[in-house]
């Protein structure tokens, strides 16, 4: 019994994510990084560095639009054509194939899943703030058919307390469950929806101490 912890990060913090690579390495941890916005050369460079360090890559759409509302307004295929394909095409041209998709604002529905399932093996959604059962998954349920991982948000905006994060890691370790977290930029003194380095370090240290595997979504059963 030791559990799994999936740390996931969204949006596009090229500087903070690149700078955090040695920290993850120190704790033998891999994570999922999902990029929103136009995929520039700088982003490709960051993706390659993360990938070389064993991390998993995801996309997070061009304009961070809520998938259900966008599809309602513009049509289902338009979400793929306008929000996903422009990112994916640039990645593929650079020899990168992001395997996961983080739903903007954690909003999704069956139509969005059906649309994107042929392209991505896993999806990151959320379960609001910390706590609750939705961010834990029993190992027996962690099968290739399990495509959506719901994360608990980490950061000031989510009213995260370090002791709650450590307690969640303890539960994953004790009950051999897979725990998913999400946050965004990584920096010292990060505010809002972003991940303070001290909190990330405490979580990584605790998960390592408890013997949890820390993996990106590419390492989930598929
Ligand atoms: Zn986002």
181 CA to middle of ligand 1, Å?
A: 13
174 CA to middle of ligand 1, Å?
A: 31
As residues whose CB is below 5 A from the ion ligand 1, the structure lists: 10-11
End-to-end CA distance of the chain: 22
pLDDT at 1: 67
3 CA to middle of ligand 1, Å?
A: 26
Q: Which domains does the chain have, with CATH numbers?
A: 4-219 (3.20.20.370)
Over 70: is that where the pLDDT of 9 sits? yes
d(CA 123, CA 103): 7
Query: Largest Cα–Cα distance of the chain, in whole Å?
Result: 48
pLDDT at 131: 62
Query: What does the pLDDT look like over 76-97, one tens digit per residue?
Result: 999 999 999 999 999 999 999 9
Mean pLDDT of 24-53: 98
11 CA to middle of ligand 1, Å?
A: 5
Ranking 37-46, 123-132, 133-142, 180-189 by mean pLDDT, the lowest is 123-132
173 CA to middle of ligand 1, Å?
A: 28
Task: Name the burial class of residue 74, with classes exposed (0-12), middle (13-18) and buried (19+) by CB atoms within 10 angstroms of its CB.
Answer: middle
pLDDT band at 51 (very low <50, low <70, confident <90, very high): very high
Percent of residues, the chain, with pLDDT higher than 70: 98
1 CA to middle of ligand 1, Å?
A: 32
For the entire predicted model, the pTM comes to 0.97
* Best CA proximity match to 200, nearest among 12, 7, 14: 7
103 CA to middle of ligand 1, Å?
A: 8
DSSP letters along 94-137, please? Answer: TT----EEEPGGG---HHHHHHHTTT-SEEEEE-SSS-SSTTEE
State the chain's mean pLDDT as an integer.
96
73 CA to middle of ligand 1, Å?
A: 20
């Amino acid at each position: 019994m030791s559990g799994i912890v999936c740390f996931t990060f969204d949006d596009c913090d090229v500087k903070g994510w690149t700078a955090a690579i040695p920290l993850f390495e120190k704790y033998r941890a891999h994570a999922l990084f999902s990029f929103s916005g136009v995929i520039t050369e700088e982003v490709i460079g960051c993706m390659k560095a993360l990938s070389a360090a064993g991390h998993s890559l995801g996309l997070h759409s061009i304009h961070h639009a809520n998938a259900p509302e966008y599809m309602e307004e513009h049509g289902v295929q338009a979400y793929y054509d306008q929000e996903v394909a422009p990112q994916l095409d640039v990645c593929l041209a650079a020899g990168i194939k992001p395997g996961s998709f983080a739903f903007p604002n954690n909003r999704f529905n069956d139509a969005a899943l059906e649309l994107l399932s042929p392209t991505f093996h896993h999806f990151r959604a959320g379960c609001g703030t910390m706590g609750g059962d939705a961010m834990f998954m029993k190992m027996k349920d962690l099968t290739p058919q399990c495509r959506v991982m719901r994360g608990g948000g980490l950061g000031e905006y989510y009213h995260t307390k370090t002791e709650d994060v450590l307690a969640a890691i303890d539960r994953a370790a004790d009950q051999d469950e897979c725990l998913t977290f999400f946050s965004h930029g990584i920096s010292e003194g990060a505010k809002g929806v972003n991940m303070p380095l001290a909190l990330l370090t405490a979580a990584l240290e605790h998960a390592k101490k408890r013997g949890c595997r820390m993996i990106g979504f590419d390492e989930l059963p598929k």
